């Protein structure tokens, strides 16, 4: 069998197993065997790219990669629930329900409120045909490709059921969440704030392969519509869904009296620390389905159900010590090392202490008993100190006077609470600066993860980011490093060489200038066009840029005023790194002169991704709405910016309209 025949065989076999795994839920081989075939095909495609195909299973999982999600108009509205926060409000809800239905027999079901992303899943003649996000309740996004990667979601059910639509919650288990964030940290990428955000971001990936890697799960909690079956109670529907293979609202409790309902809420609340996934409340539903029709719905919420929200879980534990880390800008960050405590489903052993002012305000001392919580975010925080349990002799904690990484004296400016190490040779800053430089939003150098940077630093092969571009002269030294064979070295050097051609905006972002992120870097590259002109810019010229202001402008001027930074840029230029922005300052760009403001959560883009598109087409991004604003791009949960835009008569666009406008702008740019 020659190379082409082997690759063709592997492609067909992998596609067959994809179908068995994702669509039929009946795998024939183990994950290990599947991964071995996939790795072999990846290696062959890398070695013989002429034989690679664009639809190869190495480029997708369970289906093709979508260019963008299409919209789905829900057959049945996906409404939200009203929220309540006290026992009195629970009893008031029950009273309203009873007064509306009179003397009829009434019971309730109390369920866990899973902290995830609400979706609709539809089946026709037993086959999964569509999955969609809730969206605005009336229109969502088609995420069928990604839903097929969720292992505990049945891909087929009883074929005698002509049509079934279920509503469920897609979530990420704590164990998976921690693993995903750990991997993101290792690769220098942004971590997710909490499992809910991680689940939503994973389900909305344009590449189903990434979704599959995130190992999402789903619980279903409602039948939106079914043909050929009738049910008298909600509990009956949940048991029916379980019989079809769904994980249907696990742990639901049937109740009759107000006291039973409250006891169920307390029982679910007490179980939070033992569950492998996040819940943020309990849902109370009228059990009898015919009574739901009597109770009815408002335009936004059903009157037969309500959500009780638990207060943030808090636990007491001992503060064992304080660890101070040093960031790439020299900022010293204190971290509390705690006696491990189980909190909101995870074991917590660290908590942020922010800065010296926070420590002084809370009067935090080593040995104290502290109250810790995770209020929506996954990063634990210290809420307070139990002074009554303070050990004798405990003294106020003070931040170090010298950098823990290099031993140099640290300083605090009058304008901020943070302490900083100003030593440019500080090893901690060097390491983190390199991590930032090679990250995806910066120079995007594959193969330069945390472990590789550590290896190169320890081997004395690099001392600053410019030295990365001298590694091509040290090929033999690289080959002598552990786990670095010919192909690994070749791939690393190729990625480094490729990064030389990144736009100037990427290089500016990679330099790690304080207060300058991706969007600000794009604005600088667009305004000045070259590194040489940017380095000569005055603070007044910089401050005149949209959304800059004096603080950011001063940070940029201070950075380029340092001789060491100018020398670093000179080294990068000598190495062949691009120092110019193509089409910078061109008034012929399709969106030249157009000012966009972003608000709310977009279905398929982060704000930085949407901003990248705007800037690439010549537009600018502002953080505030004014009469000069051209468009406000509004997503879910848009706030005061949307209201102000409406009052000023500014044009408001959706992501769908934004995509259409961008496509038209690209076409007009090509024609020009």
Cα–Cα distance for residue pair 469/640, rounded to 1 Å: 47
Do 437 and 462 contact (CB within 8 A), yes or no?
A: no
Per the structure block, which two tokens stand in for 321? 């010590």
Measured CA to CA, the distance from residue 563 to residue 560 in angstroms comes to: 7
Contact assessment for residue 577 and residue 469, using Cβ atoms and an 8 Å cutoff: yes
- CA–CA distance, 183 with 516 (Å, rounded to integer): 25
Question: Is the backbone of residue 452 left (phi > 0), alpha (psi -120 to 50) or beta?
Answer: alpha
> Angle at Cα 431 formed by Cα 429 and Cα 437, nearest 5°?
95
Residue 280 · residue 111 · CB < 8 Å:
no
Question: Is residue 69 within 8 Å of 603, Cβ to Cβ?
Answer: yes
Radius of gyration over every alpha carbon of the chain, rounded to an integer in angstroms: 28
Residue 236 structure tokens: 């009956």
Residues contacting residue 298 through CB under 8 Å, at least 6 positions apart: none
537-558 in b/e form (b: 16+ CB < 10 A) is: bebebbbebeebeeebbbbbbe
Distances (CA, A) of 31 to 24, 39, 340: 16, 12, 34
Cα dihedral 426, 429, 431, 437 in deg (nearest 10): -140
Token readout for 459 is 């081997």
Beta-carbon-side half-sphere exposure of residue 559 (alpha carbons within 13 Å): 23
Q: Quick check: helix, strand or coil at residue 514? A: coil
**How far apart are alpha carbons 345 and 385 in whole angstroms?**
22
Q: Which of the following is catalytic: 12, 75, 113, 440? A: 113
For the chain, the residue count is 672
- 501 class by beta-carbon count within 10 Å (0-12 exposed, 13-18 middle, 19+ buried): exposed
H or E stretch at 240: helix 234-243
CB 166 within 8 A of CB 219: no
Catalytic (active site) residue 113: yes
Q: Which residues form the catalytic set?
A: 113
């Amino acid at each position: 069998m020659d190379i082409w025949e082997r690759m063709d065989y592997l492609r067909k076999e992998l596609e067959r197993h994809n179908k068995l795994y994702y669509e039929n839920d009946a795998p024939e081989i183990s994950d290990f065997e599947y991964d071995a075939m996939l790795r072999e095909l990846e290696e062959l495609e890398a070695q013989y790219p002429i034989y690679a195909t664009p639809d190869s299973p190495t480029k997708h999982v369970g289906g093709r990669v979508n260019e963008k999600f299409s919209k789905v108009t829900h057959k049945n509205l996906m409404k939200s629930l009203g929220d309540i926060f006290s026992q009195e409000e629970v009893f008031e809800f029950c009273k309203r329900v009873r007064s509306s239905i009179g003397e009829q027999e009434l019971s309730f079901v109390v369920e866990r409120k899973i902290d995830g992303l609400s979706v609709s899943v539809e089946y026709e003649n037993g086959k999964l045909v569509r999955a969609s996000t809730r969206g605005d309740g009336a229109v969502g996004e088609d995420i069928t490709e990604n839903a097929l990667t969720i292992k505990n979601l049945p891909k087929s059910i009883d074929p005698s059921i002509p049509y079934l639509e279920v509503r469920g919650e897609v979530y990420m288990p704590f164990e998976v969440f921690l693993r995903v964030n750990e991997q993101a940290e290792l690769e220098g990428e942004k971590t997710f704030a909490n499992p809910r955000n991680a689940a939503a971001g994973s389900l909305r990936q344009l590449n189903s392969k990434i979704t599959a890697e995130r190992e999402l799960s789903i619980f279903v909690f409602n039948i939106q519509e079914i043909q050929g079956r009738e049910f008298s109670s909600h509990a009956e529907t949940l048991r029916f869904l379980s019989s079809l293979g769904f994980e249907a609202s696990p742990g639901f409790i049937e109740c009759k009296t107000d006291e039973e309902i409250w006891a169920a809420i307390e029982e679910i609340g007490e179980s939070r620390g033992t569950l492998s996934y996040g819940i943020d409340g309990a849902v109370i539903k009228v059990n009898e389905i015919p009574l739901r029709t009597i109770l009815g719905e408002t335009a936004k919420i059903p009157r037969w159900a309500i959500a009780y929200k638990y207060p943030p879980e808090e636990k007491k534990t001992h503060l064992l010590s304080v660890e101070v880390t040093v960031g790439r800008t020299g900022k010293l960050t204190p971290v509390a090392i705690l006696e491990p405590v189980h909190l909101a489903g995870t074991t917590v052993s660290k908590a942020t202490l922010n800065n010296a002012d926070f420590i002084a305000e809370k009067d935090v001392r080593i040995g104290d008993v502290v109250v810790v919580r995770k209020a929506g975010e996954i990063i634990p925080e210290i809420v307070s100190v139990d002074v009554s349990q303070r050990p004798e002799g405990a003294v106020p904690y003070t931040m170090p006077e010298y950098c823990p990484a290099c031993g140099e004296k640290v300083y605090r400016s009058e304008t901020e609470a943070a302490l900083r190490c100003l030593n440019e040779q500080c090893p901690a800053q060097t390491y983190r600066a390199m991590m930032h430089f090679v990250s995806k939003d910066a120079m995007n150098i594959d193969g330069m993860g945390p472990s590789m940077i550590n290896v190169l630093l320890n081997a004395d092969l690099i001392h600053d980011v410019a030295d990365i571009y001298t590694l091509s002269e040290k090929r033999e030294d690289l080959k002598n490093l552990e786990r670095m064979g010919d192909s690994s070295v070749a791939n690393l050097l190729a990625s480094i060489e490729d990064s030389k051609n990144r736009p100037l905006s990427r290089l500016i972002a990679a330099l790690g200038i304080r207060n300058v992120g991706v969007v600000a870097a794009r604005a600088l590259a667009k305004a000045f066009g070259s590194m040489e002109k940017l380095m000569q810019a005055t603070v007044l010229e910089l401050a005149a840029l949209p959304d800059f202001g004096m603080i950011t402008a001063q940070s940029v001027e201070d950075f380029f005023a340092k001789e060491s930074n100018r020398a670093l840029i000179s080294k990068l230029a000598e190495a062949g790194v691009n120092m110019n922005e193509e089409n910078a300052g061109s008034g012929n760009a399709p969106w030249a002169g157009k000012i966009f403001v972003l608000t709310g959560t977009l279905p398929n883009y982060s704000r930085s991704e949407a901003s990248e598109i705007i800037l690439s087409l010549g537009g600018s991004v502002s953080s505030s709405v004014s009469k000069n604003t051209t468009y406000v791009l509004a997503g879910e949960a848009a706030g005061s910016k949307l209201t102000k835009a409406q009052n000023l008569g500014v044009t408001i666009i959706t992501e769908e309209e934004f995509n259409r406008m961008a496509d038209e702008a690209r076409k007009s740019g090509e024609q020009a």
